[in-house]
Amino acid sequence: MIKNHNSPYDRGSADAYYRRPRLPHYFDGVHIHSRRIPAEEMTAQELADYHAGYDEEDDRKEWD
């Protein structure tokens, strides 16, 4: 499992942290302006990594 910035795991973790809905995706570059890869273009392993990142994130952003 790759946990680099913008990897499927990282994006799943970020979505959970920011209380966004579970919507598998990742970016193919180092910044958010890279190409967004949607779920339908992800491999089974990439989808599993996204869901692992989402499920394993136990911290949540507090929106005060």
Cα of 42 vs its chain's centroid, Å: 12
**Whole-structure pTM over 0.85, yes or no?**
yes
Total domain count, the chain: 1
In a domain, 22, yes or no: yes
Residue 3, domain member (yes or no): no
How far, in Å, CA of 21 to CA of 50, rounded?
Answer: 12
Whole domain around residue 41: which residue ranges? 8-56
**pLDDT, tens digit, 9 for 90 and up, residues 16-53:** 999 999 999 999 987 768 999 999 999 999 999 999 99
Secondary structure of residue 9 in the 3-state scheme: helix
Report yes or no on 2 lying in a domain. no
The token pair that represents 26 in the structure block: 């990742």
| pLDDT over 90 (residue 55) | yes
| pLDDT recorded at residue 14 | 96
Per-residue pLDDT at 30:
78
* 43 in a structural domain: yes
Tell me whether residue 17 is in a domain: yes
Would residue 62 count as lying in a domain?
no
